[in-house]
Amino acid sequence: MELVSAVRTFSPNILSKDIQQSFEWPLDLVAGKTLTVEGTATPKTFGLIDCKAYCEDNVLHIVEWRSLDVIEKLVYATISYVWKGIRQAQVSNSLAVEGAIDSDRVDLGVLRVACKIAAEGGAQYLWLDGICIMHTKKEDKKWQIQRMADVYKVFYLFGAARRDRRLGRGRRHNKLDSAVLDAPRGVTPV
């Protein structure tokens, strides 16, 4: 298992006192590898994938937010990763996350489609538990899991939009309905 460490960054496009930090991996370096956030990610923060950076800059850019109160004000989508054994992504076009032993690899193409669908629906960020949770730190993983319901409650897109009902405070977005229905296998609306 070849580990690829994240590089700390701070996007000049995102200036906020509510941001803990941000970090990223160039996509050409992660295909076939395992991502690690060891020594980079901050425990007890909420990480979100920047959809524009992924789709336009070919960078997996994670922005860490200090509190749930802050991300409640953001426009973001949520999806869940595919559990181990359900779908096998090709190693050459996917990534694994250090410590996420119960999940399959994340297909880079499927993640791109998820980011595009989110962006087309008006969301700037995507929360994917398989990537946005620190799986190597038991205390932090427990903290994150205890707050997952809250993260899903305040989502903007995906959720249960295609079933024509709301989940928590998630907002239904009509433009997304057909996009979710046409999403490729591996994009799992919650």
Residues 6+ apart with CB under 8 A from 46: 64, 65, 66, 67, 68, 70, 71, 127, 132, 147, 151
pTM for this one? 0.78
Domain boundaries, the chain: 3-181
When mean pLDDT is compared over 39-43, 60-64, 177-181, the highest value belongs to 60-64
pLDDT reported for residue 189: 41
Instruction: Convert the pLDDT of each residue in 22-50 to its tens digit.
Output: 899 999 999 999 999 888 888 998 999 99
